[in-house]
Amino acid sequence: MTTITGRLFLDGAWTPGRIRVEAGRIASVERDLELSESDPLHIAPGLIDLHVHGFAGCEPLTDLAGMARALARRGTTGFQPTLFPAAPRLLGEQARAVTAAAKSLPAEAATVVGLHLEGPFVNPRSAGALAPTHLAEPSVAGLRAILGPSTGDGHGIRTMTIAPELPGALELVAELVTAGVRPSLGHSLARAAQARAAASAGASSATHLFNAMAPLHHREVGLVGFSLSEDALCAELIGDLVHVGRDAVELALAARGPEGLALVSDALAGAGTGCAVFHSGGRSVRERDGAIWIEEPGVENVLAGAAATQWEALTRLVEQGVVTLEDALLMASTTPARTLGLDGERGRIAPGARADLLGIRLGPLRLERVWLAGVALGQLPD
């Protein structure tokens, strides 16, 4: 049995105590108000990234294990590898390959908690950095080509981004729910009524709130306004303060609170490598100004993805006073776990939960330790 002591993140606040770990899970949590350390570690649940395309030079299709190891060392202990659009049958094959690779990840790697497909059934007029030639019109046949036979496991797919305003999209939302896949609304020009209809059909989240959506208008609030005003959708939020400005982040927090927002990275494979120019999703991209942008002739100021991990975005938000550490941890861990239906397993410090934990130092904020199933990883990157 392993014992971890410090200030524990319990019920949204810090409490001195100890965690006892057995067989990779939390066996007990003991509060101890007399526990005294001059510089205690603050112990929090590991982060869960619902939307990440790659990191440290690795992508799900080429080196899932390398991606999972690198993410774990940056505090992300569970993640949804996110695949770019492709022809439906090819996308199904890719999903099957990534799911197979996820079953043999090394012990020091973050856990794959399901795949996220960002398309292909999204609006080409709101494609953002997604290659328009790889998109597809919504169809039951196309969806079945991706998910495989009805008796299968959906090729491990847990989330799919879809634009609800497209013809046939609402039927696919219902089909996804039946197949056990979470429909997430995004890359969309949907009106609020269309978003509401999709939520009624079973859509449960919004993909990177504000990005690749029609802007909020006072006579038509659209998907942005619906996501801000309704609890039906858990809204992903990229927290690098480039994709979404400070004022908009504060607006989202005021409207939904940390329980309604999931902090995601949307990181690309080149993030964390130091490379300025690389390829991602079939596009040439460049890192600049704290994010990653398309670098192609005739394309100006189009974001391709993020250069920051969840932990880096969390740190940026906290150090700039946009959000408290406690709310940031809720957004990056507890809320994602709940929206995936994994709140008994992840995103909290409680008996029975997997012992994926972070050891945090304050002033300045620093990630000092990561435990996976109760086993501490070695020296972490600066």
Q: How far apart (Å, rounded) are the C-alpha atoms in residues 72 and 377?
A: 9
Mean pLDDT confidence for 117-129: 96
pLDDT in tens, 132-164: 999 999 999 999 999 987 656 778 999 999 999
Query: What's this model's pTM, rounded to 2 decimal places?
Result: 0.96
pLDDT at residue 38 greater than cutoff 70: no
End-to-end alpha carbon distance in the chain? 29
pLDDT tens-digit readout, 17-31: 999 999 999 999 999
Residues 6+ apart with CB under 8 A from 286: 276, 277, 292, 293, 295
At 90, list the tokens. 């090819």
Q: What percent of the chain has pLDDT over 90?
A: 85
**Which residues lie across from 8 on neighbouring strands?**
15, 43
Which domains are assigned to the chain?
46-344 (3.20.20.140)
User: Phi and psi dihedrals of 39, rounded to 5?
Assistant: -140, 75
pLDDT of residue 152: 67
Name the maximum alpha-carbon separation found in the chain: 63
* pLDDT at residue 210, rounded to an integer: 98
CA angle 3, 39, 321 (to 5 degrees): 110
Kindly list the distances between the CA atom of residue 279 and the CA atoms of 8, 54, 68, 282, in Å, as whole numbers in the listed order.
41, 12, 20, 6
Give the pLDDT confidence of 168-209 residue by residue, as tens digits.
999 999 999 999 999 999 999 999 999 999 999 999 999 999
pLDDT at position 150:
61
Name residue, tokens 């196309």: 142
Q: Report whether 114 contacts 156 (CB < 8 A).
A: yes
- Tokens, residue 355: 């012992």
